Amino acid sequence: MADSAGIQQGSPAIGAAGLVPAAPGAGGTEGSGAAGGSARIAVKKAQLRSSPRPKKLEKLGVYSSCKAEGACKCNGWKSQNPPPTPPRTDQQSNAVNLQEPCRSCSHTLGDHVTHLENVSEEEMNRLLGIVLDVEYLYTCVHKEEDADTKQVYFSLFKLLRKSILQMGKPMLEASESPPFEKPSIEQGVNNFVQYKFSHLPSKERQTIMELAKMFLNQINYWQLETPSQRRQRVPNDDAVGYKSNYTRWLCYCNVPQFCDSLPRYETTQIFGRTLLRSVFTVMRKQLLEQARQEKDKLPPEKRTLILTHFPKFLSMLEEEVYSHSSPIWSQDFLAAASGGQIPMHTVISAPPVPRPLYYSTSPVSLDPSICGSVSPARKTASVLEPNTNTVGEKRKPSDPLPHEENKRPRVVGDIPMDLINEVMATITDPAAIPETSLLSAHSARDEAARLEERRGVIEFHVIGNSLNQKPNKRILMWLVGLQNVFSHQLPRMPKEYITRLVFDPKHKTLSLIKDGRVIGGICFRMFPSQGFTEIVFCAVTSNEQVKGYGTHLMNHLKEYHIKHEILNFLTYADEYAIGYFKKQGFSKDIKVPKAKYVGYIKDYEGATLMGCELNPSIPYTEFSVIIKKQKEIIKKLIERKQAQIRKVYPGLSCFKEGVRQIPIESIPGIRETGWKPAGKGSHLHSIIDLLFPTDLKTMSERLKSRYYTTRKLFMADMQRIFTNCREYNPPESEYYKCANLLEKFFYTKIKEAGLIEK
């Protein structure tokens, strides 16, 4: 009873937030529930860890046994005046009184937290993280209907509760620790690729690797059936073995997604063929059925891969999974394989646990990893009333851009346009640019969404309420949808506050529409006279997250504001949102003068004001495509340059004849690299001339033309020379050694001049 009362003291906020555990029996959906829960818990942890120390002591006191004299048996302080359930958001939290008596044992709060007096902030924050995990598991225990799952939740709840009481680290007590079977699923799939496809040409083998990566990624986010569900579906199966693996999966893979005080492992790395056999048939069926249902939505370049190659890949793998004599499950496979193992990272590189996208103008909270991948905008015919704007129409190259005079002048050292055009002619065919898998670490965050927009799967509209025109039914329905999305994804924000801003005529919302319904949006208020826009709310509904919609929304918002000649965004972000905004181009360096925004936006305690200055010359919705083309151009230019200078000349024989030194220009091939005599100089000058003379000459001309407006810009160019020299030359070469020597000399002089700290 004491335990229960102690948990209730801290649990209302969890219940009020609307958190629910990921449904373990969903059987075939990615863990969006766990993703939503994990980010919300992360927000709560950040808020709690930023609280004053007395508030932290009060929270930990709820889970700390009484230390008063007389061997008190109370194991958690209970307030005389517990907060309302759910807590009112408009109430100010009362000051913490360490002398307040416990409702259970009558001893003070201070008697419960004496052991925390000398504990560091870092350790206290760690314990607070466990506290919120305990409260979430408490909610899971009471909401879970499946008996086996409920039992695991309760066991983990007690484990974390004990860790707080003993101030220890949670350690799962089990007869076995991960990995539970060798080889793992990941290793088995690697062996399968090696066993069946090692003879294929490089391009075809790369396709197989992509299929393998897709399959492993699906397993890592697959929701297992509960043991009771499996018994109904497969009555004669090994129920005991499956229940054991299910319990391990919950403890080591599933629950740690939202309770990060527990160690987390990837399913494919700690389980082997036994678990794979138990899920493969159902998983294969559902994956192929889903692919058939959504075939019209697949991009053309992926359709053949998923509809033709993937079923065949799964059929071949299925034979090896259920075969009793397959060599891929032997631990001696690699020693017996003739070609050796495929490097693991080329097949499996699972992304991090998906996190939800949501933030608001009040202290913003979200995980850095929330933005997935997205795509190029198509022209959309608007069928809405005048108070809506269709987003997606490109700025025509012939249209004058706002602030056209800001275009930079041509810089000394730029590559000649005739050479650029010559290289461009070799890559005019889009198919010539290497395709980047959406599962690749190198794919753009907005790649998938841009493709969906191009195919008409999603649309973007700027909408808002109006007091001057008759309300449009469709717009009102979308505004209601946006209010629901923001309310669900921002549980800490009062619903009335969200409703007031969404329907406020001064605010507009960039809405993301899919299949006729709202799945996300960004609410904002423009201040044209002040030259900036305030971002108020942004959210994507939980089952549509980790698809890159967040990045694509922001890119459309940037293009919309460039058309309206507002080139600055402002918003407030807490520590969990800063990483996300940095990826979208925001920084703490605010370009808007303080006098312009003070009094227009609210100042939030504990949050960081961030801003983003827009460049009117950048087509943001196509930016990642342009960067990809630029990278290909640079690659081609490097290849051409290397082809010119990689001629091998015979060695110098003059030194064998007693010659002690020779002019640099007499070295065969030195002039072909672009080197020119620089007159008299020291040995250091000779090294400089030998080391990429063209770049150093360019830097000299840029210095004379006052190109280097900051020290950082100058040092970046110099460092690029050193980096390129080591990148494109072997370590034993003279170029590589000269780069190291010159770099050391450069930084010595920089420090002597006081330009950087010694």
Mean pLDDT of the chain: 75
> Looking at the structure, do residues 629 and 604 belong to the same domain, yes or no?
no
pLDDT higher than 70, residue 439: no
Residue 543, CA distances (Å) to 355, 445, 491, 517, 527 in order: 11, 18, 16, 13, 33
Listing DSSP states for 75-117 in one string gives -S---SSPPPSSPPTTSPPPPP-TTPBPTTT--BHHHHSGGGT
Q: Which of 751, 741, 705, 748 is nearest to 721 (CA)?
A: 741
Report d(CA 327, CA 59) in Å as an integer: 55
Residue 672, CA distances (Å) to 392, 422, 644, 648, 725 in order: 49, 21, 8, 12, 17
Strands annotated E in 530-589: 532-540, 568-573
**pLDDT at position 592:** 92
Of 359 and 710, the structure prediction assigns the larger pLDDT to 710
Residue type, 226: T
Residues across the chain: 758
| Span 399-418, average pLDDT | 51
**pLDDT at position 23:** 35
Report d(CA 445, CA 714) in Å as an integer: 31
**Confidence grade of residue 576 (pLDDT, cut at 50, 70, 90):** low
**pLDDT at position 383:** 29
pLDDT higher than 70, residue 366: no
Q: Binding site residues for acetyl-CoA, as ranges?
A: 538-540, 545-551, 576-579
> Looking at the structure, do residues 154 and 229 belong to the same domain, yes or no?
no
What confidence tens digit (pLDDT) does each residue in 306-355 have? 888 888 889 889 888 988 888 898 877 754 444 333 333 333 333 333 32
- Whether residue 697 lies inside any domain: the answer is yes
> Looking at the structure, do residues 623 and 611 belong to the same domain, yes or no?
no
- Whether residue 370 lies inside any domain: the answer is no
What confidence tens digit (pLDDT) does each residue in 113-136 have? 888 888 888 888 888 888 888 888
Of 299 and 533, the structure prediction assigns the larger pLDDT to 533
Q: Binding site residues, as ranges?
A: 538-540, 545-551, 576-579
> Looking at the structure, do residues 606 and 636 belong to the same domain, yes or no?
no
> Looking at the structure, do residues 718 and 737 belong to the same domain, yes or no?
yes
- Whether residue 584 lies inside any domain: the answer is yes
pLDDT higher than 90, residue 270: yes
For the chain, give me the number of helices (H) and strands (E)?
A: 29, 8
Q: What's 729's domain CATH number? A: 1.20.920.10
Give the chain's domain count: 5
**pLDDT at position 360:** 33
> Looking at the structure, do residues 138 and 197 belong to the same domain, yes or no?
no
| Span 467-481, average pLDDT | 86
Q: Rounded to 5 degrees, what are φ and ψ at 674?
A: 105, 5
> Looking at the structure, do residues 508 and 471 belong to the same domain, yes or no?
yes
What confidence tens digit (pLDDT) does each residue in 34-93 have? 455 666 777 788 888 888 888 888 888 888 888 887 778 888 888 877 665 444 444 445
Q: What is the biggest distance separating any 2 CA atoms in the chain, rounded to whole angstroms?
A: 100
> Looking at the structure, do residues 579 and 640 belong to the same domain, yes or no?
no
Least confident range of 3-17, 52-66, 676-690:
3-17
- Whether residue 283 lies inside any domain: the answer is yes
Listing DSSP states for 54-84 in one string gives HHHHHHHHTTS----TTT----S---SSPPP
What confidence tens digit (pLDDT) does each residue in 481-498 have? 999 998 988 877 789 989
Q: Terminal CA-to-CA distance of the chain, rounded, Å?
A: 61
Contacts (Cβ under 8 Å, ≥6 apart) of 119: 127, 167
> Looking at the structure, do residues 625 and 610 belong to the same domain, yes or no?
no
> Looking at the structure, do residues 538 and 612 belong to the same domain, yes or no?
yes
Report d(CA 97, CA 440) in Å as an integer: 53
Six token digits for residue 703: 């210095």
**Confidence grade of residue 454 (pLDDT, cut at 50, 70, 90):** confident
Query: Which domain range does residue 709 map to?
Result: 682-757
Residue identified by tokens 């960081």 is 608
Of 21 and 414, the structure prediction assigns the larger pLDDT to 414
Q: Which of 7, 31, 36 is nearest to 19 (CA)?
A: 36
- Whether residue 171 lies inside any domain: the answer is no
Mean pLDDT is highest, among 382-386, 473-477, 638-642, for: 473-477
Are 187 and 174 in contact by the 8 Å Cβ rule? The answer is no
Which residues are the active-site residues? 534
> Looking at the structure, do residues 141 and 192 belong to the same domain, yes or no?
no
What confidence tens digit (pLDDT) does each residue in 195-230 have? 888 877 778 888 888 899 989 988 988 889 999 988
- Whether residue 752 lies inside any domain: the answer is yes
Spell out the SS3 assignment of 348-394: CCCCCCCCCCEEECCCCCCCCCCCCCCCCCCCCCCCCCCCCEEECCC
pTM for this predicted structure: 0.43
Parallel/antiparallel/unpaired status of strands 532-540 and 568-573: parallel
Are 318 and 309 in contact by the 8 Å Cβ rule? The answer is no
